[in-house]
Amino acid sequence: MAVATRASVRSVLPAAARPRFSVRFSGLLSHGFLIIWAAMVTLPLLWSLLSAFKNDQEIFDSPWTLPKHWSTASFVRAWNQAEIGRYFFNTVVVVVCAVTLTLLLSAMLAYVLARFDFPGNRVIYFAFVGGMLFPVFLALVPLFLIVKNLGMINTYQGLILVYTAHSLSFSVFFLTGFFRTQPAALAEAALLDGCSHWGTFFRVMLPLARPGLISIGIFNFLGMWNQYLLPLVLTTNPHRFVLAQGLANLAVNRGYRSDFSGLFAALDISMVPVLVVYLIFQRRITSGMTAGALR
Amino acid sequence: MRYGRRSFILSFITAPIALYIVFVISPYVQAFYMALTDWQGYSPSMNFVGAANFTRLSHDSMFWLALRHNLYLVIAITATVVALALFFASMMNFGGSGAGHGGRSAIRGVRGSRFYQIVYFFPSVLSVTVVAVMWQFIYDPKNGLLNGFLSAIGLDSLQEVWLGDHNTALWAIAVVAIWGSVGFYVVLFTASMGSIPHELYEAALLDGATRLQTFWRLTVPLIWDSIQVAIIYLIIGALDTFALVQVMSIGPGGPDNSTQVIALYLFNNAFSYSKFGYASAIGVTMFVMTLLCTVVALRFSRRDRVEY
């Protein structure tokens, strides 16, 4: 686009006028395109946000009007009757426990793999990294049976352990790389000062690894918060649904069909907290998530 | 210093390895075995049938239909997302200036590129079900945003029952997948473009290169690694399409199986019909396809790495 413009501008205008005009014009053009996509991203989100404050009649009348009376009743209905509140609580419990456990276990394993030479070190490392090659769909049926045999269907611990196990591959890979870049001298100094291996890890190396732990923590938090497939298979009791699953269930089963504003409210409750957290920590989150892609 | 080394290592690796074996390695291994059996879920009989499931799969017209839909999605999503993300990322990085000959500001990003990146990234942090439910509303034939928009600009004739028509349903879902992933790759590409030294562009402009030439000859080769990552990720993502179809489409998988995809077919075989053996065979096929696509993408997109 900008190129064609420049070429034609060049032929018409005298040399002195050329750059300035072109700079202005292509800048505006860029903004034009960028704004269109920004609008395509934000308009649906804003529309979903506002629709929850309307009543059903207003939703049916026109998608474009603002709510006449800003009613928050739909949020109360979604939270209580549609049990979004319960799903929210379930999600928080599962995700907080699973992220903590993932960070602890992957940091421990990664530290040992990065710092200690022992038989089997490479085998373990590649067994974990290789796990990233397999699609989760392949594991679904056996995984369901394993969790069922352990009596952990419809339990928090079932989801927590499965989430953690399936997050280990990438987390171990990422943190092993991270621990390798840290100076060995620090650990050696701590050991010379009489610190045990355990003490060295928890008091010296783990605090030093904070930036890596935060990145991997954010990455896993978002992935687990948004997880849909695993709970769909491992949780059948509606009381134990997580947010993504509960919301989809509301929309799919249409049990809530008669209440459009309630469904919009449920959507907003699932959406807004994540967006707020994102806006607060956006630099960290973007770098954490793109680091995941560049593995 | 040596004291306790062994017990330290053991104490640190036992728990993660045990967890990984039980919930990751063993299900994958079992899946490969199950694919060779005729197991029907809760029945006690489980006979080894060799490759019979795969033979049946090769004659299963529903499987081929689903596979075709996945291929459409792979092509549509990968091409569109990479093109759009490259376009927006170069607008952000280099769109701020045109033909400034020489000088420090020959190449400039647009103002507010940080703002655009933040906004573009919104869909990437939302769960796929949130995105699916929201777009279900947008596509709603009567009260939806899309038909409302078309009617507002006087294009009532273009209104559709987007998810209810077998001609549009799959593409409607592809659009949602594109909407959801462009932002992520814009941020990824912007980061890689930001690390290209400006001197290269200034030199190219001094030599009289046009914008399009600098884009194809400089930008694309220099960020090729990121583009390759993006292509592989998008292909794998499109092959795994599940939640969008499962939540948004009628049926799900409809209308008339027009949105049937492999992952959904696997899921239904396993958890609706309890055909565990057959479902596992579909899973193995998915795995092989993912692997093949990755290898092919890596091979066909191999170029000399440019150091800078």
What residues of chain A, 237 to 256, have a C-beta less than 8 Å from chain B?
A: 243-245, 247-248, 250-252
pLDDT tier at A6 (50, 70, 90 boundaries)? very low
Q: What is the pLDDT of residues B207-261, one digit of tens each?
A: 888 888 888 888 888 888 889 889 999 999 999 999 999 999 887 887 888 999 9
Q: What is the pLDDT of residues B178-199, one digit of tens each?
A: 999 999 999 999 988 888 888 8
Distance from CA of B111 to the nearest CA of A (A): 9
Q: Do B152 and A267 touch (CB under 8 A)?
A: no
Contact A146/B at CB under 8 A: yes
Whether residue A19 sits in one domain with residue A89? no
pLDDT at B94: 78
Q: Is B176 a residue whose pLDDT tops 70?
A: yes
pLDDT tier at A19 (50, 70, 90 boundaries)? very low
Write down the mean pLDDT value for chain B. Answer: 86
Whether residue A205 sits in one domain with residue A106? yes
Contact A190/B at CB under 8 A: no
- Separation between Cα atoms, residue A109 and residue A112, nearest integer Å: 5
Distance from CA of B262 to the nearest CA of A (A): 10
Whether residue A82 sits in one domain with residue A34? no
pLDDT tier at A25 (50, 70, 90 boundaries)? low
Q: Is B262 a residue whose pLDDT tops 60?
A: yes
Instruction: Name the maximum alpha-carbon separation found in chain A.
Output: 80
Tell me whether residue A182 is in a domain.
yes
Mutate to test the interface with A, among B13, B179, B229, B245 (most CBs of A within 10 A): B13
Token duo for residue A68? 């006449």
Distance from CA of B290 to the nearest CA of A (A): 8
pLDDT at A9: 39
User: What is the per-residue burial (b if ≥16 Cβ within 10 Å, else e) of B264-281?
Assistant: bbbbbbbbeebbbbbbbb
How many residue pairs bridge chain A and chain B with CB atoms within 8 Å of each other? 289
Contact A118/B at CB under 8 A: yes
Whether residue A184 sits in one domain with residue A110? yes
Task: Collect all residues of chain B within an 8 Å Cβ-Cβ radius of residue A137.
Answer: 240, 242, 263, 266-267, 283, 286
Q: Do A228 and B128 touch (CB under 8 A)?
A: yes
Q: What is the pLDDT of residues B133-147, one digit of tens each?
A: 999 989 988 878 888
Task: Collect all residues of chain B within an 8 Å Cβ-Cβ radius of residue A42.
Answer: 119, 122
pLDDT at B300: 75
Domain extent at residue A95: 77-293
Mutate to test the interface with A, among B92, B101, B133, B224 (most CBs of A within 10 A): B133
CA B28 from chain center: how many Å?
A: 22
Q: Is B2 a residue whose pLDDT tops 60?
A: no
pLDDT tier at A42 (50, 70, 90 boundaries)? very high
Task: Collect all residues of chain B within an 8 Å Cβ-Cβ radius of residue A10.
Answer: 99
- Separation between Cα atoms, residue A230 and residue A289, nearest integer Å: 21
Q: Which are the contacts of B145, defined by CB distance < 8 A and separation ≥ 6?
A: A43, A44, A47, A63, B137, B138
pLDDT at B73: 95
Task: Collect all residues of chain A within an 8 Å Cβ-Cβ radius of residue B130.
Answer: 226, 244, 247, 267, 270-271
Contact B201/A at CB under 8 A: no
pLDDT at B1: 46
Tell me whether residue A32 is in a domain.
yes
pLDDT at A219: 85
- Separation between Cα atoms, residue B98 and residue A121, nearest integer Å: 54
- Counted domains in chain A: 2
Domains of chain B, start order: 54-300 (1.10.3720.10)
Chain A residue closest to B100 (CA)? A19
Tell me whether residue A233 is in a domain.
yes
Q: Do A23 and B100 touch (CB under 8 A)?
A: yes
Whether residue A38 sits in one domain with residue A82? no
Q: Do A228 and B127 touch (CB under 8 A)?
A: yes
Residues B271-279, mean pLDDT to the nearest whole number: 89
pLDDT at A111: 92
Contact A200/B at CB under 8 A: no
Mutate to test the interface with B, among A112, A290, A294 (most CBs of B within 10 A): A290
Note whether B109 and A26 are within 8 A (CB).
no
pLDDT at A5: 41
CATH of the domain at A130: 1.10.3720.10
Whether residue A120 sits in one domain with residue A29? no
pLDDT at B134: 92
CA A234 from chain center: how many Å?
A: 20
Token duo for residue A179? 């621990």
Q: What is the pLDDT of residues A101-137, one digit of tens each?
A: 999 999 999 999 998 888 889 999 999 998 888 889 9
Whether residue A112 sits in one domain with residue A13? no
Residues B39-60, mean pLDDT to the nearest whole number: 82
Task: Collect all residues of chain A within an 8 Å Cβ-Cβ radius of residue B188.
Answer: 290, 293-294
Contact A13/B at CB under 8 A: no
Whether residue A217 sits in one domain with residue A262? yes
Q: Is A21 a residue whose pLDDT tops 70?
A: no
- Separation between Cα atoms, residue B243 and residue B126, nearest integer Å: 13
Q: Is B307 a residue whose pLDDT tops 80?
A: no
Q: What is the pLDDT of residues A57-101, one digit of tens each?
A: 777 777 777 777 787 888 888 887 778 899 999 999 999 999 999
Note whether A147 and A158 are within 8 A (CB).
yes
Q: Which of A134, A228, A260 sits opposite B287 (nearest CB)?
A: A134
More confident residue, B26 or A82: B26
Residues B156-177, mean pLDDT to the nearest whole number: 88
Task: Collect all residues of chain A within an 8 Å Cβ-Cβ radius of residue B286.
Answer: 135, 137-138
Tell me whether residue A52 is in a domain.
no
Note whether A294 and B167 are within 8 A (CB).
no
What residues of chain A, 74 to 93, have a C-beta less than 8 Å from chain B?
A: none
Residue recorded with tokens 């800003």: A70
Contact A121/B at CB under 8 A: no
Report helix, strand or coil for B37. Answer: strand
Chain B residue closest to A193 (CA)? B1
Tell me whether residue A238 is in a domain.
yes
Whether residue A144 sits in one domain with residue A3? no
Contact B184/A at CB under 8 A: yes
Task: Collect all residues of chain B within an 8 Å Cβ-Cβ radius of residue A271.
Answer: 126, 130, 134
Whether residue A251 sits in one domain with residue A172? yes
Contact A187/B at CB under 8 A: no
Contact B211/A at CB under 8 A: yes
Tell me whether residue A50 is in a domain.
no
- Separation between Cα atoms, residue B184 and residue B155, nearest integer Å: 32
Chain A residue closest to B13 (CA)? A109
> How is residue B142 annotated by DSSP?
T
- Among A11-20, A62-71, A126-135, B115-124, which stretch is predicted with the lowest mean pLDDT? A11-20
Residues A144-164, mean pLDDT to the nearest whole number: 93
Q: Is A208 a residue whose pLDDT tops 60?
A: yes
Whether residue A209 sits in one domain with residue A119? yes
Tell me whether residue A54 is in a domain.
no
Whether residue A164 sits in one domain with residue A23? no
Tell me whether residue A64 is in a domain.
no
Single pTM value for the model: 0.86
Q: Is A11 a residue whose pLDDT tops 70?
A: no
Q: Do A142 and B15 touch (CB under 8 A)?
A: no
- Separation between Cα atoms, residue B293 and residue B71, nearest integer Å: 11
Q: Which are the contacts of B178, defined by CB distance < 8 A and separation ≥ 6?
A: B76, B77, B80, B81, B84
- Separation between Cα atoms, residue B148 and residue B141, nearest integer Å: 9
Note whether A268 and A75 are within 8 A (CB).
yes
